[in-house]
Every structure is written in structure tokens, then in C-alpha cells.
Amino acid sequence: MRGVHAGLRWAAVVAAAAGAVLPARPAAAIEGGWDADVAHHPYQVAVEYRGAHICAGSVLGPSSVLAPAHCADVMSTAALTVSVGTVLRKADPNDPTARGLRQRVVGVAVHPAYDPSTRAADLAVLTLAAPLALGDGLRAVTLPAQDSEPAPGTTATVSGWGATSTQTSRSPKLRAARVTVVPWTVCAAAAGTAGAATAPSPAVAAPAVTPPPAVAGELCAVPERAHLRRGDDGNPLIAGDTLIGITAAPEPPGADGGSGSRFVNTGAYSAWIRTAARLPAASG
């Protein structure tokens, strides 16, 4: 996640579009978000392939984790692991207390409507080899009601190990940022701006850019003074203690400040997630 001063200009856009006032920036925040404490994100998971971080995930229950389908659909299940209970992307061999817990993945259920070309229904439920000991330091997320969608103006927190700039690799430590849900047109405008920025020179007209259509089951949200970058795939989007989304597509290259990022709207898939993770049906 990378901060930019230009993100401030989106505050007016978001407030106007959502009819809401953005909350004050947390005191602990730094530009581009803030260093996260795992105690505040007890559901956070790092998904790994052959020991290397590939995506973020969210604890659904003692034996299940939610992650993007594109992080697991072509991988060997036997080579997938998850790490929980640590802010470090890579375990520090010299600090046993910072290693967290690593569990093997023994099963992957990809949403049947997943489309790799559009990233529609980009969800997978990972089944773990042994149950996690859930408690105060490690908790499962709450899923929203089926067919629910957060209203524009909803504020939430996103966390993960994505790159801190366009020139750097993934962050070694967990970071978080505040985001606001906005109308889909903000994500469409961001894609159009990024495409226009690829014009060869001011003298050459930029190619026509068709903004992406609203994808069923997705929502758009703007990070406050931050960017979602490479490696932020699967980051949990949490409002209160409810998982309202996971990062589907970080901002397009060249997006400058406060651009919208696409998230899978978990409310559109709650029933499937519960079934795949063998969770109790929602009450009421």
C-alpha cells in the first residue's frame, strides 16, 4: 500500500458520491496506511505456495480460509500452506514468537462461476490439514447476509502485505489502510485514467478506453491516502467484524492517488462460502 498526497482530492469525490463525511485519519496511521498489529486483525492469513507468499486470506472457521481463486486454482494443493498469527510475511528464524502458525492446505474449493478472464466470482475456500485453535488472538470473520451489499459511504479497513510503491516488492510486515465504499463509476473512471496515461506522447491521441463494466458480485472502494498494489490480492475488507469483501484487483498501473480498487462483494456469495467451508447456515 502506497500513500500519495493526491489521495486527498478524492475525499471530496467520495463525500459527494456517497453523501457521507470521511472519518478522521487514525492517529497511528502513516502515509500509505499504517503498520498493523495482528491483534487488531486476528483473522488475517498469508497464503503461501512452496513457502513463498502469494496472497492474503481470511479465517472462516477452525479448518477453513477464504482466498482468491486465482491464487489457488492452478496450484498444487500439496504445495499450499497458510500462516496465521503473525505480521511478518516471512517468518523470522531468529524470533520464534514472530513465526506464527503454519498449516498445510489439503483441499481447495473454487467457486463454480469463477472466470479467470474477468476474475468474476474470484473466490476459493481452502481446507486445512488440522483445525486452528481459535480464541482472542485468532478469530474467524463474520460473513454478511446473502445478497447484501455495503452502501456507498461505508467505511472499512483493508490489510495485507502488498507492495509499498510501484518500484518495491511486497511489504515484509502487515499493513492496513482505511477505505470507503463508492459507486462503481469511480473504479471505471480510474481504469479510463490509467489507460489514457499510456498514450505515447501529448501529440498522439490516447487510444479510446472502455471503462470496465460493473461486474456482478463486486464493489468499488477508495483507500484513504493509500494505494492497493501488487501482492494485495485477497486482502480482507472488514467493516466492524464483518468481511464485506476481499481485494479482487489492485489499482491499475499508473493510477494516481485515491483511485478505486475492485473487491469481491462477499455478500453476493455468502451462502456458497458457508457451504464450501462447512459453516452453519446463517440464522434468520
Residue 58 CB coordination number (10 Å): 24
Residue with cell 469481491: 264
Query: pLDDT digit string (tens) for 261-280?
Result: 889 999 999 999 999 999 99
Q: Among the listed ranges 33-42, 85-94, 221-230, 237-246, which one has the minimum average pLDDT value?
A: 85-94
Average pLDDT over residues 102-126: 94
| Averaged pLDDT for residues 125-131 | 97
More confident residue, 104 or 210: 104
d(CA 43, CA 60): 8
pLDDT tier at 17 (50, 70, 90 boundaries)? very low
Quick one: which of 94, 92, 83, 123 has its CA closest to 264?
A: 123
Give the integer Cα–Cα distance in Å for 163 and 54: 12
pLDDT in tens, 249-263: 655 444 454 567 889
What pairing do the DSSP bridges indicate for beta strands 236-239 and 155-160? antiparallel
pLDDT at res. 94: 52
- 8 has a pLDDT exceeding 90: no
Q: What is the pLDDT of residue 73?
A: 87
**pLDDT score of 52:** 84
What per-residue confidence (pLDDT) applies to 236?
Answer: 94
Q: What is the mean pLDDT of residues 109-119?
A: 92
Report whether 87 contacts 37 (CB < 8 A). Answer: yes
Looking at domain 5-276, its CATH superfamily turns out to be Trypsin-like serine proteases (2.40.10.10)
Query: Which residues does 253 contact at the CB level (< 8 Å), separation at least 6?
Result: 166, 194
**Domain boundaries of the chain, sorted by first residue:** 5-276
Helix (H) / strand (E) element for 192: namely helix 184-196
CB atoms within 10 A of CB 206: 13
Q: What is the pLDDT of residue 267?
A: 97
Q: pLDDT digit string (tens) for 60-112?
A: 999 999 999 999 987 899 999 998 876 554 555 455 444 568 899 999 999 99
* Strand locations in 135-253 (E): 155-160, 175-182, 218-223, 236-239, 242-249
Residue 200 pLDDT grade (very low, low, confident, very high; cuts 50, 70, 90): very low
What integer pLDDT is reported at residue 3 of this predicted model? 38
Tallying the residues shown for the chain, one arrives at 284
Separation of alpha carbons 28 and 16, rounded Å? 27
d(CA 199, CA 203): 9
Reading the block at residue 213, the C-alpha cell is 463494466
**DSSP 8-state symbol, 98:** G
Cα–Cα dist 118/137, whole Å? 36
User: How far is residue 172's CA from residue 255's CA, in Å, rounded to a whole number?
Assistant: 23
